Structure 1
């Protein structure tokens, strides 16, 4: 009986160790981190660098989240944001005062926001999540950010102001000027169509003569000469006309 007990004693000590060895892999699961592969933004925009993770363990105070940046020109990545129970945004460097924490570890969110993006922010951003004991798998995810120059856009209010203060007044002025020109032209045409009876157009006498009209149109000067010549003829005829016989005798 002592021999049997001696044999079962070591088995009792070894059994818990074997059970822990076979059950340990089921207690530790790989963590998965994901983020968009590429992002595009315009200069001056606020860019949300999205990062989500899945873990079988509940987030604790040991959980850490890090964001690192590698410039587009190349070089080693530099960590600029850290989270451990609370957010630690960068206090100096390129991203100082421009990073906001948008994450919620209880919901599997580890996102941040980059304020007032510039062309110098082009590069690769890496999100790293550690949540012990889930430390295996792929705890990193990368996003390539491309910031482009901002294209000026015309707002509706700008177009309305332009129409009201520039185009509409200029259109009204143009219509007024066109109306004045048409009215002046019409007056000129009417004045040319009306002629006084005593007016003679240049070359009209010659045209009348060529047309076989023997009579010459009377002008003001012609009327004056006609009156003077008539008086002269009358006086001359009076002198040359012989007086009646009775009238001559009474003279003597």
Structure 2
């Protein structure tokens, strides 16, 4: 009997360990956030900082989103945008009047727009979503934004070669067309023109 009881206890412990290993991580990871790893923009563009999330619990008024920024030069990240039932865009600092809420929490979207991107905006942007009662209730995702100057107009070697070929060819074509049309015009005029002096026989 003792051996049978000992076997049952061992089996119960094994089953408990199995369920703990299989199901507890799924509860802990019940919310996940994703963002593109890299974003590229040209100075002056409006950039969409995308952030999407999935959660086992439907978003409620307790759900919150915050965005933080860490400069490319390094340093500590600082929060510049917050959402909790409504958006709280920055009223001062680097991003003042340049952030627009684009998110739709009911559709798992917590994105924002950065208006008039500058070279000073280069760095890492972190999106954090909290949606209680999910376990731990917070997951983050990072995107690195690279803003560059508008490319200057540069003519490649192929473009220059094409221009040097097409331009003389076009000029030559117009010249030949003019040569063909002009004699016909002169010939038609010679038929209609008569001299006041007429030569008669005898």
TM range, normalised to the smaller chain? Answer: 0.5 to 0.7
| Aligned equivalent of 1:109 | 109
| Aligned equivalent of 2:64 | 64
| Aligned equivalent of 1:53 | 53
| Aligned equivalent of 1:85 | 85
The two structures, once aligned, show a CA RMSD in angstroms of 2.4
Deviation of 1:30 (Å): 2.2
Q: Secondary structure at the match of 1:106?
A: helix
Deviation of 1:35 (Å): 0.2
Whether the aligned pair in 2 keeps the contact of 1:28 and 1:133 (CA below 8 Å) is no
Return the TM-score normalized by structure 1.
0.49
The count of residues paired between Structure 1 and Structure 2 equals 134
Greater strand fraction, Structure 1 or Structure 2: 2
Return the TM-score normalized by structure 2.
0.61
Which runs of structure 2 are paired with 1:20-31 in the superposition (5 Å)?
A: 30-31=30-31
Structure 1 or 2, whichever has the larger Rg, is 1
| Aligned equivalent of 1:150 | 150
Deviation of 1:136 (Å): 3.7
For 2:136 and 2:95, how far apart are their aligned partners in 1? 30
Give structure 1 regions of 4+ aligned residues with deviation exceeding 4 angstroms.
24-29
| Aligned equivalent of 1:6 | none
Which structure exhibits the higher relative contact order, with contacts defined as CA atoms closer than 8 Å and separated by 6 or more residues?
2
Q: Which digits, 9 at most, give the CA deviation of each residue in 1:72-125, with x for residues without a partner? A: 000000000000000000000000000000000000000000000000000000
Deviation of 1:135 (Å): 3.8
**Is 1:36 aligned with 2:53?**
no
Deviation of 1:150 (Å): 1.1
Question: Mind listing any 5+ residue stretches in structure 2 that lack a counterpart?
Answer: 1-19, 155-170, 176-202
Whether the aligned pair in 1 keeps the contact of 2:131 and 2:138 (CA below 8 Å) is no
| Aligned equivalent of 2:96 | 96
Which runs of structure 2 are paired with 1:102-181 in the superposition (5 Å)?
A: 102-136=102-136, 139-152=139-152
Q: Which digits, 9 at most, give the CA deviation of each residue in 1:20-42, with x for residues without a partner? A: xx8x9587652100000000100
Deviation of 1:152 (Å): 4.4
| Aligned equivalent of 1:74 | 74
Q: Which digits, 9 at most, give the CA deviation of each residue in 1:5-26, with x for residues without a partner? A: xxxxxxxxxxxxxxxxx8x958
Whether the aligned pair in 2 keeps the contact of 1:103 and 1:111 (CA below 8 Å) is yes
For 2:28 and 2:123, how far apart are their aligned partners in 1? 34
Question: Mind listing any 5+ residue stretches in structure 1 that lack a counterpart?
Answer: 1-21, 155-170, 176-252
